[in-house]
Amino acid sequence: MVYGWARRGELRDSDAADICQEVFRAVVKNIDDFQRDQASSSFRSWLWAITRNQIRLFYRRRADEPQATGGTDAAAQIQQLPAFLDEDSEPSALVGRKLLVHRTLKLIRSDFSERNWDAFWRLAVEGESATEIAETLGMSPSAVRQAQYRILCRLREELEGS
């Protein structure tokens, strides 16, 4: 996760690995300072704050190094901090949740008929109306909604177990 955040910070592979080492060095040194004083406080958000600071520090250090001449716009862009470093919430929380849901959906897909899965997908994901789906699949609108309900229940069941 930390490595992924560092790579999202547009760092090279080796620089991202160095950031990981610095982050975990800071975690070991400061773990006693971590306090979960609010419901919104989490270890993951604390870890994101440390990672974000390490990436910023990396960019500051790099800005102090002598740069090759050439005067291109690319060199100026390289010196800029990635915009996601301004975010307080860690960047991969939503992405991680989406990936988990996507993997879980793949796992449970075979538990349902093709027609019910198609009805669910079109209603829940593509946002089509139950009536429109029912007409094309030869189902009643209530059967379309029932298929969605059953698949969502199964999805919740799997996600709660993981």
What's this model's pTM, rounded to 2 decimal places?
0.45
Claim to verify: residue 60 and residue 102 sit in the same structural domain: no
Which residues neighbour 88 within 8 Å (Cβ) at sequence distance 6 or greater?
Answer: 45
DSSP character at residue 6? H
pLDDT single digits (tens) 50-84: 988 898 888 888 776 555 555 554 444 444 545 55
pLDDT single digits (tens) 93-128: 556 667 778 888 888 999 999 999 999 999 988 889
**CATH, residue 106:** 1.10.10
The arithmetic mean of pLDDT across residues 130-149, rounded, is 94
- Residue 129 CA from chain centroid, whole number: 29
pLDDT above 70 for 87: no
How many other CB atoms sit within 10 Å of the CB of residue 69?
7
- Residue 117, pLDDT score: 94
* Angle, helix 92-108 to helix 141-161, in steps of 10 degrees: 120
Claim to verify: residue 67 and residue 86 sit in the same structural domain: yes
Claim to verify: residue 12 and residue 35 sit in the same structural domain: yes
- Among 28, 63, 90, give the residue marking a domain's end: 90
- Among 90, 116, 146, give the residue marking a domain's end: 90
pLDDT single digits (tens) 11-52: 888 898 999 999 999 999 988 888 766 655 678 888 888 988
Claim to verify: residue 84 and residue 124 sit in the same structural domain: no
Residue 73 structural domain: 2-90
- Residue 53, pLDDT score: 87
What CA dihedral angle connects 94, 100, 118 and 155, to 10 degrees? -110
Claim to verify: residue 14 and residue 40 sit in the same structural domain: yes
Residue 134 Cα distances to 32, 36, 101, 126, angstroms: 58, 49, 25, 14
